[in-house]
Structure 1
């Protein structure tokens, strides 16, 4: 899928930047199966001739044009394991980054947006080609490339185009057998990047590597081959790329992805593209409702929705809708039907309007309303409390530390303070404000899920190097005294 303001950017010989608004070609990418061969798969492009990949139960083939002429001769070659060089991902640390932002979005809202596991659509919003020299230093060490690209993206690319993730494909031969590297669980953050080596003549193999590295950004670890299974001969998140190019994620990847979403709640995943903003031609059967479609439940083989005609992507006879929290038995629910129940003290119920199959936007109670029996105050739909923050930081067995630990906040040290206006300035708490500063916990995991731990006796605190993203503090909106709440700057 392309966004309407998709751009392609070339760097000219004169060092000028040529921004090209691309007039997209008619749809020319197809995938499917061979009739009567359940073990087959096909992925073909008809742009400028036929090129792509198809597989039968017995063999794999590549097809590509021999000339630039659309109607010229084409070559079909058999894929063999001859001269195959093993390629691996350079990711060895299977934990999320220390300085990751903790989850802030409400996971309940996510469940209403994501209809099934791994059902995630990716819209290409831009392509930048460095045709007259690299804009960063690209060298054989993959780790150095990843860090350089991360910095360039945050300093330059984010200013050019709004996006959630960026991947660098390079012709430089990375050190050893490494062909890709990415940060784990960093989507929607400044570390949402990966680097991929153009390591194979088969574009599908490089594409599989890019999918693998993006999988890391989505919180997926490498598969344990003894415990993970997928529908293909190999799985996308295998640590090494096999000769049989993977096309599917494993059961372990699905579990990792679900865990990442529930624990981190990356907010940009909730920004489902509006079908009206996509300019590529509608493709019936891709599972995404686009302009001109009333519904899209996937291919004829995949569709299980009785409200949708999978062949035409139109509503079945007598149906008013095919999906949505206000769609029941293919009919739009009556006005005032509850479509999202009240979850807690800080939530509000939502009701159908009788016209749309979608439930209205999730709303919450006004900030400052007492919640959880007076233990907290509502803040942006949540009831933030210190004990639950300790669980988030150190795991389910963690508890809040004893009140005496909070006395450290009067010291104004890097691990105990109330305010931090810069990286090296720590302002102590007044005695009456000690519960509004650094969060102190006890028990739980040895190290925090994010940040770095500082332990003083039975008092555990989390330290962050960046004062702007110091999430070891008591959360904003948390009750820290009668009539008192923690504020980011106070």
Structure 2
């Protein structure tokens, strides 16, 4: 037939085909087929499950019912809040070959960590950024991929079982040097591992690994679309975050560098992963470490180097030049590439390969297994190393992912709603300025205005002296008043620390609280502080349920037992508790019975150290702990230790001392010493309103009103008399007219 040629002719007609393969070979990660495949797929329709407390939807949580693998599952999801920086810098090459920095829009509130209800050890790493569910579900040793079905109008999704497959003749074992495990050493280490961790393990710290991702040109050529590359890197980091989050580590993206026009350093000369990573570490230290501080860097490539698909320096985390690794993404599935990156990250943290004694929950192999695969769970051996990393103090991992800003100097400009040195006001945009009667769009005040904002700015002018601009917040607080000279309220002031405010407490930093009040704030009305035996027995133990605070040491946070004199200032213990409130995550309510002559119940509250939850379980400052003593920083302090230089005698017993040790006088006496009649207040609070003037004004107003009412009544009386006289006159005239008419008849 025309157009068909013998096979031999076709082969002879393509002499350049081997040469073509020679050039295309280095672009791919391997010459073999991909190391993964889908074994089964099915169409599912996730059904959303409502998360409600009363009638309010719980923010940041989602649940879906999904049937796959012959079973019905409920997937619970919680949003990740620190996965991406607020400003996500992406560095690329422009048309002229120069680097440019952009901040593309990447949704930050659609990435979730999840699990399957009723399946212990399950894990989900999902996102909803494109309208449906997309991501990875791990059920025991099975890895599923879920993604929306394209062009479906019924919210249909495709869920597929993903497996790895070995390429014949290839060794998949990790080749990072110095990783041979010693069985005898490992057994000795496992034998020494306690069933429960040391005393400070129950309060985990949170550490942050800030990654600098670099996309090599070979990987970019596989899919030359910057948006797609950014999306894949975020998905990869999302999986890394899920794997290490349970160990107290948050894996964050610091910056993404894409070599879209060509590699930033020569890569083709390196024949193995070790030499590549060494050179890449030196390059990124010289190029980026001073400009964008980070903990480690990951180079994503589209080809192998020698026989290495990945490589990292063990223990290189936070090292400026050794903190580097590479992962060949190539034609690997993004989930497989992510688990390879998790393996290399484990090496950089200091983890060794798992040996025969290492186990992870409901998994055949763990992340640090010598032979890598779709592995998502860390072993008990890895947790030993990670625990040391998480609980030691260091300036590297302890720093959160502060947004990178390439512009340390920002020029002043009118319209940014920030009052600069040369501006009288700043009302913002043209629309905002059109609605502002005090400020023009040129950042100058309107005619006749003296201010445009502030608690002491009323009607575009300074408020009159004596106007209250900050009310008292409690018995130990003091009010502030406008001075009539500025638009701002005077600085906050409060009663001097140590001033008695109740039979069982003194003022401290403007607050007045004793142990009874604190117990009622935690557990409700009618709750009292527990018996003294609770404080004597528990607070001298120095453990989770009784201590005088947590001391930050190199090994982490360690609870400190109370000295005998300080037991009433340590952990708070309450009695008569009828109902336990909801404390939220990372909190614990405890109930301990202490045996004395009669059993005593001791209720308390504990917020885990290292979290952002306020520590409400310790006795607050200011509570009485003995005659002439009060609690201060979990120590029982004597009043003379405060070194008072101001007291009520300084104020002539007509006022109190404030935190600046100035007299705040009662109404009717003038500061600074309250020895002359005046309006009250202090030199720090602004002049309070003159009550005598207000009283005179009120009296004058009431007198004026009474006089006006009397005049009004008199006027009404006169008017009614005149009207009555007119009516009477009319009657007389009518009567005379009738008499005259009758006489004529």
Scaled by the length of structure 1, what TM-score is found?
A: 0.50
Separation in 1, partners of 2:383, 2:259 = 35
Q: CA deviation at 1:198?
A: 0.6
Pick one of 144, 150, 160 that aligns with 2:275.
144
Match for residue 51 of structure 1? Answer: 134
Match for residue 261 of structure 2? Answer: 132
The structure number with the bigger radius of gyration is 2
With over 3 angstroms needed to count, the CA separation of the structure-2 counterparts of 1:265 and 1:87, relative to structure 1, is farther
Match for residue 228 of structure 1? Answer: 358
Q: CA deviation at 1:325?
A: 8.3
- Residues 206-232 of structure 1: CA deviation (Å, up to 9, x unaligned): 1111111111111111111x1111123
- Answer yes or no: is 1:267 the counterpart of 2:395: yes
- Answer yes or no: is 1:76 the counterpart of 2:362: no
- Residues 64-103 of structure 1: CA deviation (Å, up to 9, x unaligned): 45659999975433324556676343312249xxxxxxxx
Q: CA deviation at 1:145?
A: 1.4
Match for residue 294 of structure 2? Answer: 163
- Answer yes or no: is 1:8 the counterpart of 2:70: no
Pick one of 571, 580, 583 that aligns with 1:308.
583
Match for residue 205 of structure 2? Answer: 114
- Residues 44-63 of structure 1: CA deviation (Å, up to 9, x unaligned): 22223543222446854223
Q: CA deviation at 1:351?
A: 3.8
Separation in 1, partners of 2:272, 2:153 = 40
Asked if 2 retains the 8 angstrom alpha-carbon contact of 1:7 and 1:22, the reply is yes
Scaled by the length of structure 2, what TM-score is found?
A: 0.34
- Equivalent positions of 1:355-366 (< 5 A) are none
Structure showing the higher helix proportion among its residues = 2
Structure number with greater CO (CA < 8 Å, separation at least 6) is: 1
Q: CA deviation at 1:175?
A: 2.0
Q: CA deviation at 1:238?
A: 1.2
Match for residue 19 of structure 1? Answer: 101
Match for residue 202 of structure 1? Answer: 333
Asked if 2 retains the 8 angstrom alpha-carbon contact of 1:7 and 1:19, the reply is yes
Secondary structure in 2 aligned to 1:123? strand
Match for residue 30 of structure 1? Answer: 112
Pick one of 87, 90, 93 that aligns with 2:178.
93
- Structure 2 spans left out of the alignment, 5+ residues: 1-82, 181-198, 208-245, 406-579, 590-602, 624-631, 637-745
With over 3 angstroms needed to count, the CA separation of the structure-2 counterparts of 1:274 and 1:196, relative to structure 1, is closer
- Residues 314-348 of structure 1: CA deviation (Å, up to 9, x unaligned): 999x99983348999843433399xxxxxxxxxxx
What is the aligned length? Answer: 295
With over 3 angstroms needed to count, the CA separation of the structure-2 counterparts of 1:159 and 1:329, relative to structure 1, is closer
Q: CA deviation at 1:141?
A: 1.6
Q: CA deviation at 1:134?
A: 0.8
- Structure 1 spans left out of the alignment, 5+ residues: 96-107, 278-304, 338-349, 355-490
With over 3 angstroms needed to count, the CA separation of the structure-2 counterparts of 1:332 and 1:11, relative to structure 1, is farther
- Residues 416-462 of structure 1: CA deviation (Å, up to 9, x unaligned): xxxxxxxxxxxxxxxxxxxxxxxxxxxxxxxxxxxxxxxxxxxxxxx
Pick one of 330, 333, 346 that aligns with 2:619.
333
Asked if 2 retains the 8 angstrom alpha-carbon contact of 1:308 and 1:314, the reply is yes
Separation in 2, partners of 1:35, 1:112 = 26
Separation in 1, partners of 2:610, 2:177 = 41
Secondary structure in 2 aligned to 1:228? coil
With over 3 angstroms needed to count, the CA separation of the structure-2 counterparts of 1:269 and 1:328, relative to structure 1, is closer
With over 3 angstroms needed to count, the CA separation of the structure-2 counterparts of 1:257 and 1:58, relative to structure 1, is closer
Which is worse superposed, 9-18 or 68-77?
68-77
Q: CA deviation at 1:25?
A: 0.9
Q: CA deviation at 1:234?
A: 1.7
Separation in 2, partners of 1:315, 1:261 = 21
- Equivalent positions of 1:412-431 (< 5 A) are none
Separation in 2, partners of 1:267, 1:204 = 32
Secondary structure in 1 aligned to 2:256? strand
With over 3 angstroms needed to count, the CA separation of the structure-2 counterparts of 1:216 and 1:353, relative to structure 1, is farther
Asked if 2 retains the 8 angstrom alpha-carbon contact of 1:43 and 1:53, the reply is yes
- Equivalent positions of 1:380-395 (< 5 A) are none
Say what the alpha-carbon RMSD is for the aligned residues.
4.5
